[in-house]
Amino acid sequence: MPPVLQGILTIIIGVGGCVGYFYASNLILDKVIFPAKGPKAGININRANKVRPWLFLFPAMFALGLYLAYPVVGSFWRSLFDRSGANFIGLGNYFDLFSESTFRTAVFNNLLWVLFVPAMATFLGLLVAQLTDRLSWGNIAKSLIFMPMAISFVGASLIWKFVYAANPDIGIINALRDFFGMQTLDPLQVQFWNNFFLMFILVWIQTGFAMVILSAALRGIPEETIEAAIIDGANAFQIFFQIKVPQIMGTIVVVWTTITILVLKVFDIVYTMTGGNFGTHILPSYMMTYMFRDDGRATAVAFVIMLLVLPVMIWNIRQARKEMR
């Protein structure tokens, strides 16, 4: 069966199945198990309403549990065994990892990514959002800066190869260096800084996201507060930093954490640009060198990533609970 047909069939079965499940399960609940008639109608309605949320929730909870919650436990368990999966070695994989210099480099680089990318993307996003706010062609500018969001990391890496290439007839950076009589160099081999060149690709992609959200937040600030400040004689910078930024602080934090979460998932850029060479490994790409060869080691790396995001996770949950109250 050609995959297109298979795809269409899946959509029909999948979507039909979902709709059918929700419809049928509600019907059965209301008509068969707890019918809303007869002597116990009132009690039945109450009972049905107690069960119904779980009907609505079940598929999502099942998928979430299987695809996200179970792996956390499953991966941790696997990481306690050796490469064959037969022998329990406790935290052996973790000790081995930390004694390896490539791994330490990857952790260090990953921390750089986590700090730099969200900060830079949020900062640039805020800057563009503010600058384009009153601009006649602001929407066009925003669209163009938002555009990289649609491009895959692999596509983006290819695009940036035309910027970073060492050949001055291909890479624009080296063309400029060549033009000014400087020696050409391969930016991706400049130790330490090459990490930032790779990070900038992600910043390039994510700035648009930050910009759009922050731009909307800026517009949500009541006009009166700003007008009052103008009348008080505040200049543009004072207005921006002392009035606007504090007002949208909540949104800035949300944008920041969203990008942080994304950063920890991205492995494509390193994979296609350097393959982890020249000291540019990050944990997700480092994990790929072990995956399915030494699963114990690979899952241990994955779990280290998990530990890195843990603070963000806890903060997120606390934030969500605060909102609900």
Partner 1 sequence: MKSKFYAGVASIALLAGSAAAQDLIVAPGTEGFNWESFDAFAAEHDFSGETVTISGPWLQPDQTFLRNTLAYFEEATGATVNYSGSDSFEQDIVIAIQANSAPNVAVFPQPGLAADMAARGALAPLGDDVADWMRDGYAAGQSWIDLGTFANPQGEDEFYGFFYKVDVKSLVWYSPEQFDEMGYDIPETLEDLKALSQQMVDDGGTPWCIGLGSGAATGWPATDWVEDIMLRLHAPELYDDWITNDLPFNSPEVIEAIETFGIFAQTDGWAQGGPEAVATTDFRDSPAGLFQIPPACYMHKQASFIPAFFPEGSVYGQDFDFFYFPAFAEKDLGEPVMGAGTQFTITDDSDATRGLFEFLKTPIAHEIWMAQSGFLTPHLGVNLDVFADDSLRAMNEILLDATTFRFDASDVMPGEIGAGAFWTGMVDFVTGTDAETVANNVQARWDQMR
Partner 2 sequence: MDNIAGQNQGARIAVNITVIILVLLWLLPTIGLFVSSFRDRDQISNSGWWLSPFSVEQNFRIRVGTDTARQIDGVHVIEGNAFRAPELEQVFEGHEGQISAFGTRAVAPDEFTPGERVELRQGGVLTVEADGSFRIENTEEFGARGPTIYVMALSPPRFTLFNYNTVLSADGMDRAFINTLTVAIPATIIPILIAAFAAYALAWMDFPGRGLLIAAVVGLLVVPLQLALVPLLSLHTSVGIGQSFLGIWLAHTGFGLPLAVYLLRNYMVGLPRDIIESAKVDGATDFQIFVRIILPLSFPALASFAIFQFLWTWNDLLVAKVFLPSGTDSQVMTVKIADDLLGSRGGDWGILASAAFVSIAVPLVVFFTMQRYLVRGLLAGSVK
Q: How far is the CB of 76 from partner 1 (least distance, A)?
A: 19
Chain positions 284 to 313 lying near partner 2, rule: CB under 8 A, are 284, 287, 291-292, 295, 298-299, 301-303, 305-306, 309, 312-313
Q: Which is nearer to partner 2, 2 or 191 (CB)?
A: 2
Among 125, 148, 208, 276, binds partner 1 (CB under 8 A): 276
Are the C-beta atoms of 94 and 300 separated by less than 8 Å? yes
Alpha helices in the chain (DSSP H): 3-28, 41-64, 70-78, 92-98, 101-132, 138-146, 153-164, 172-179, 193-219, 223-231, 236-238, 245-247, 249-263, 268-273, 283-290, 295-324
Find the Cα–Cα–Cα–Cα dihedral 264, 267, 273, 278, rounded to 10°: 70
Which residues share a beta bridge with 81? 88
Structure tokens at 297: 């080691």
Among 170, 185, 190, 228, binds partner 2 (CB under 8 A): 170
Q: How far apart are CA 264 and CA 122, in angstroms?
A: 16
Chain positions 157 to 196 lying near partner 1, rule: CB under 8 A, are 166, 185-186, 188-189
| Alpha-carbon distances of 237 from 142, 195, 247, 249, rounded to whole Å | 22, 32, 15, 16
* Side-chain half-sphere CA neighbours of 298 within 13 A: 14
Q: Does 296 bind partner 1 (CB under 8 A)?
A: no
Q: Which is nearer to partner 2, 96 or 294 (CB)?
A: 294
| Residue 26 interacts with, from partner 1, partner 2, none (CB under 5-8 Å by kind) | partner 2
Among 42, 99, 101, 150, binds partner 2 (CB under 8 A): 150
Q: How far is the CB of 109 from partner 2 (least distance, A)?
A: 15
Binding residues with partner 2: total (CB under 8 A): 113
SS3 of residue 244 by DSSP: helix
Q: Which is nearer to partner 2, 27 or 91 (CB)?
A: 27
| Alpha-carbon distances of 190 from 3, 164, 172, 175, rounded to whole Å | 45, 11, 17, 17
The site map against partner 2 for 247-276 (x = CB under 8 A) is: ---xx--xx--x--x--xx-xx--xx----
Beta-carbon neighbour count of residue 73 at 10 Å? 9
Among 46, 100, 104, 220, binds partner 2 (CB under 8 A): 220
Q: How far apart are CA 46 and CA 49, in angstroms?
A: 5
Residue showing tokens 């998928």: 63
Q: Which is nearer to partner 2, 86 or 324 (CB)?
A: 324
Beta-carbon neighbour count of residue 97 at 10 Å? 21
Which residues share a beta bridge with 88? 81
| Residue 294 interacts with, from partner 1, partner 2, none (CB under 5-8 Å by kind) | partner 1
Q: Which is nearer to partner 2, 191 or 240 (CB)?
A: 240
Chain positions 128 to 147 lying near partner 2, rule: CB under 8 A, are 128, 131-132, 135, 138, 141, 143-147
Q: Does 149 bind partner 2 (CB under 8 A)?
A: yes
Q: Does 292 bind partner 1 (CB under 8 A)?
A: yes
Q: Which is nearer to partner 2, 134 or 191 (CB)?
A: 134
Among 256, 289, 309, 312, binds partner 1 (CB under 8 A): 289
- Residues in contact with partner 1 by the rule CB under 8 A: 96, 100-101, 166, 185-186, 188-189, 271, 275-278, 288-289, 291-294
